[in-house]
Amino acid sequence: MIMSKNTTVDTDLANYAEKFLNVDKGQQLFFGFIFVGLLIKIGLGFVAGATALLWGYFIMIFSIIGLLFLKVDTKTNDMEALKLLFNPLLLLIIVLLWNISLSLRFFDEINKEKVPKQYFMWAWFSTILITSIVVLSILAYVVENESFAIYSYVLLVMNLIVTAIQQVILESFTVDG
């Protein structure tokens, strides 16, 4: 019984890997840029947090928009394109833009580390959530499995809460000077 369960998991993973490898090159390129954006945010975040966030998240936003444009079929005139409006990747853009707006408003304070230490803790928690959302959303996008998308939506709600906490910390506890 255990052998059959492991075999099922192995075949599912093999099917997912095969579907990912069969995705066209344009989509693979945009997936790569999304991960480059994450690496910029994570790798350069120790040096200049706000700058790394801006560069990394802007690269991710443009890559997500590129992916969504590749998914739209302009030859058909049906309502399938409207389903993209509720794609977890598209909703992730809202979270990324909110984080970008916070970084722009408090750019100098974040880069000079003149904000409370709690902000950086929540910022890293947000980065972990965004990384998880990206991985699950790309899996849902490639294998067209709704279960991955549902987990992405739950993580998106959690990330909205975390970003709201970051905003409260920055607006309420950041001192000038």
**pLDDT for 95-142, tens place per residue?**
999 999 999 999 999 888 889 999 999 999 999 999 999 988 888 877
- Share in percent of the chain as helix, strand, coil (round to 5): 85, 0, 15
Count of beta carbons in the 10 Å neighbourhood of residue 107:
16
Count of beta carbons in the 10 Å neighbourhood of residue 101:
12
Provide the whole-model pTM: 0.82
**How far from 30 is each of 58, 59, 66, 72, CA to CA, in Å?**
13, 10, 7, 15
